[in-house]
């Protein structure tokens, strides 16, 4: 299925605006969950590892809220990629800034709400604000494919013919006609009895009209049952074929080594890269940095720098001379170094500097859909991106508890952030190795030595003559 040519503007800018506000309302609070994390530690009195599950599940997988966020994120990214081609990097950068602006605003807003209304009141107000996503969703119009029209409403009696996608219509109708033929077995028996001469005069008497009407109703009922049975069989086969095609497409995606490496990289990136946004406030408190020294919350710094990073990286992705895959790998490697530097930060200034660097590099989310599109194509983007976002959410869920458990075990965040940096670095190197062109070049040149040897022999023979 091929989509219409992306308009690169027009209604697409409305899509960008609606997607920006959607991500603002959807991801602002979950990404600023670090403010709530401090409150949960004081309220529940549990260890950091166990308490981190609350925040990680709110931003990852496992809860209704996170399931909704995952669906919304995939929808906004997919529809934006359909509407933009030459300006796709800019469009993705703009919509992804919504979550970053939301992080910046919600970090301060949730502190004020907790101060005035308490933790429960804060969560209720944040949930009420999220209802505005319904208005944003009403503005999104999917770009129709170029080879199909809008589907018409299909009457039930016309469905069997339309669903016969297996070229088995005649065969299935014959099978159902056999069911109907059972209705007339009585008549066939009567004919055979007349042919054999074994009959009674009572059989020639006219039948009761009431009996005739009942028999006709029974035949009509059986015919309708046969039609509905045929419809259900065709529908079941069609659904099975769709599931089968989905599984085959999934296997085909993972045969692409770059996509497989991308899947590993995003999983490891979210295990190691997400904990700072949740735990940075507690890192500062563990380093004996007082809240009075905070001109601005560290989470707010991460949020505003993430917005800047998304815009800049998104604009860079539109330059033809920049390889977006290598750009994404570079952000992963630099981020791993910044994560490993967190244990050495003992003041607000150094923590704020590292928060800004991590926030800017986390802006690589704006080019991740771009990289995915270049890897699998626009037709498979929704399928591939859904798979990648599932494992990204899984990484979000596992990262903070793992870091929290490291702290509960060692009473310091040092080993925890070394582990986080290692995960991000490993994912970056795996993706880099899969993307190197030398692998394909070597494989393509393996069968070529034979012609070279042949030409060499000809040259030696001519010299001897």
User: Could you write out the three-class secondary structure of 224-275?
Assistant: HHHHHHHHHHHHHHHHHHHHHHHHHHHHHHHHCHHHHHHHHHHHHHHHHHCH
Most confident range, picked from 62-71, 154-163, 372-381? 372-381
Q: Which residues pair with 145 in a beta bridge?
A: 3
- pLDDT for 147 equals 52
- pLDDT for 248 equals 86
CA proximity to 340, closest of 396, 392, 418, 271: 418
As a whole number of angstroms, the distance between CA 46 and CA 43 comes to: 9
Assigned token pair, 364: 């690589």
431 versus 155: which is more confidently predicted? 431
As a whole number of angstroms, the distance between CA 49 and CA 53 comes to: 7
- pLDDT for 90 equals 83
Above 80 in pLDDT, residue 440?
no
Question: Taking the CA atoms of the chain, what radius of gyration do you get in angstroms?
Answer: 32
Q: Specify the 3-state DSSP secondary structure of 426.
A: helix
CA proximity to 32, closest of 283, 277, 287: 277
Q: Which of 12-21, 25-34, 323-332, 368-377 has the lowest mean pLDDT?
A: 25-34
Per-residue pLDDT band at 151 (split at 50, 70, 90): very low
Place of tokens 């770009």: 143
Query: What percent of the chain is predicted at pLDDT more than 90?
Result: 14
What integer is the mean pLDDT of 432-454? 55
What integer is the mean pLDDT of 325-335? 94
What integer is the mean pLDDT of 62-83? 74
Place of tokens 């906004």: 76
What integer is the mean pLDDT of 87-98? 83
Most confident range, picked from 147-161, 221-235, 329-343? 329-343
* Burial (Cβ within 10 Å: 0-12, 13-18, ≥19) of residue 46: middle
- pLDDT for 451 equals 45
Above 80 in pLDDT, residue 178?
no
- pLDDT for 329 equals 94
Above 70 in pLDDT, residue 122?
yes
Q: Specify the 3-state DSSP secondary structure of 145.
A: strand
Q: Specify the 3-state DSSP secondary structure of 45.
A: coil
Contact 180, 222 (CB under 8 A): yes
Contact 307, 101 (CB under 8 A): yes
For the chain, the first-to-last Cα distance in angstroms comes to 62
* DSSP structural state of residue 127: H
Contact 332, 272 (CB under 8 A): no
- pLDDT for 77 equals 84
212 versus 249: which is more confidently predicted? 249
CA 452 to chain centre: 48
Q: Is the dihedral of CA 245, 250, 252, 253 positive or negative?
A: positive
Per-residue pLDDT band at 67 (split at 50, 70, 90): low
Angle, alpha carbons 356-360-365 (nearest 5°)? 145
The CA-atom distances, in angstroms, between 252 and each of 181, 227, 255 are 46, 37, 5
CA proximity to 279, closest of 25, 27, 45, 51: 51
What integer is the mean pLDDT of 204-211? 53
Q: Which of 105-114, 129-138, 177-186 has the lowest mean pLDDT?
A: 177-186
Annotate 162-180 with DSSP letters as a single string.
HT-TTS-HHHHHHHHHHHH
What integer is the mean pLDDT of 394-406? 82
Annotate 350-400 with DSSP letters as a single string.
HHHHHHHHHHHHHGGGGTHHHHHHHHH-STTHHHHHHHHHHHHHHHHHHHH
- pLDDT for 463 equals 41
| In 60-146, alpha helices (H) | 64-83, 88-130, 133-137
168 versus 282: which is more confidently predicted? 282
What integer is the mean pLDDT of 431-454? 56
Query: What percent of the chain is predicted at pLDDT more than 70?
Result: 71
- pLDDT for 419 equals 92
Instruction: Give the mean pLDDT of the chain.
Output: 75
CB atoms within 10 A of CB 381: 19
Per-residue pLDDT band at 118 (split at 50, 70, 90): confident
The model's pTM is: 0.63
As a whole number of angstroms, the distance between CA 107 and CA 34 comes to: 8
Assigned token pair, 290: 């007082």
Q: Which residues pair with 313 in a beta bridge?
A: none
What integer is the mean pLDDT of 335-341? 93
Dihedral Cα 44, 47, 51, 52, nearest 10 deg:
160
């Amino acid at each position: 299925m091929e989509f219409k040519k992306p308009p690169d503007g027009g209604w697409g800018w409305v899509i960008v605006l609606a997607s920006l506000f959607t991500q603002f309302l959807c991801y602002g609070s979950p990404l600023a969950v670090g403010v709530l994390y401090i409150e949960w530690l004081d309220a529940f009195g549990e260890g950091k590892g166990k308490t981190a599950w609350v925040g990680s599940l709110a931003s990852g997988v496992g809860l209704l809220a996170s399931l909704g966020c995952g669906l919304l994120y995939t929808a906004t990214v997919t529809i934006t990629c359909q509407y933009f081609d030459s300006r796709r990097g800019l469009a993705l950068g703009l919509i992804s800034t919504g979550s970053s602006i939301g992080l910046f605003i919600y970090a301060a807003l949730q502190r004020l709400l907790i101060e005035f209304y308490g933790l429960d009141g804060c969560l209720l107000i944040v949930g009420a604000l999220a209802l505005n996503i319904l208005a944003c969703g009403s503005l999104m119009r999917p770009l129709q494919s170029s080879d199909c029209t809008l589907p018409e409403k299909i009457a039930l009696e016309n469905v069997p013919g339309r669903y016969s996608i297996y070229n088995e219509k005649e065969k299935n109708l014959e099978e159902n006609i056999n069911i109907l033929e059972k209705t007339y077995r009585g008549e066939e028996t009567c004919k055979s009895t007349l042919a054999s001469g074994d009959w009674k005069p009572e059989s020639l008497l006219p039948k009761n009209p009431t009996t005739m009407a009942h028999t006709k109703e029974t035949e009509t009922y059986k015919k309708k049952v046969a039609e509905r049975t045929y419809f259900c069989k065709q529908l079941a086969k069609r659904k099975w074929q769709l599931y089968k095609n989905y599984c085959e497409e999934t296997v085909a995606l993972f045969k692409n080594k770059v996509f497989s490496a991308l899947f590993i990289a995003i999983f490891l990136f979210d295990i190691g890269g997400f904990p700072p946004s949740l735990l940075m406030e507690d890192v500062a408190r563990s380093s004996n940095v007082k809240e009075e020294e905070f001109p601005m919350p560290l989470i707010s710094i991460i949020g505003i720098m993430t917005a800047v990073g998304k815009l800049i990286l998104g604009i860079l992705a539109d330059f033809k001379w920049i390889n977006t895959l290598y750009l994404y790998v570079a952000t992963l490697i630099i981020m791993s170094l910044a994560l490993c530097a967190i244990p050495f930060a003992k003041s607000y200034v150094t923590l704020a500097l590292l928060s800004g660097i991590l926030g800017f590099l986390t802006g690589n989310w704006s080019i991740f859909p771009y990289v995915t599109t270049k890897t699998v194509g626009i037709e498979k983007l929704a399928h591939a991106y859904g798979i990648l976002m599932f494992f990204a959410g899984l990484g979000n869920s596992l990262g903070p508890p793992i870091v929290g458990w490291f702290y509960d075990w060692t009473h310091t965040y040092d080993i925890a952030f070394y582990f986080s940096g290692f995960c991000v670095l490993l994912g970056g190197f795996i993706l880099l190795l899969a993307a190197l062109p030398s692998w394909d070049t070597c494989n393509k040149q393996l069968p070529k030595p034979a012609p070279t040897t042949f030409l060499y022999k000809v040259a030696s023979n001519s010299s001897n003559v």
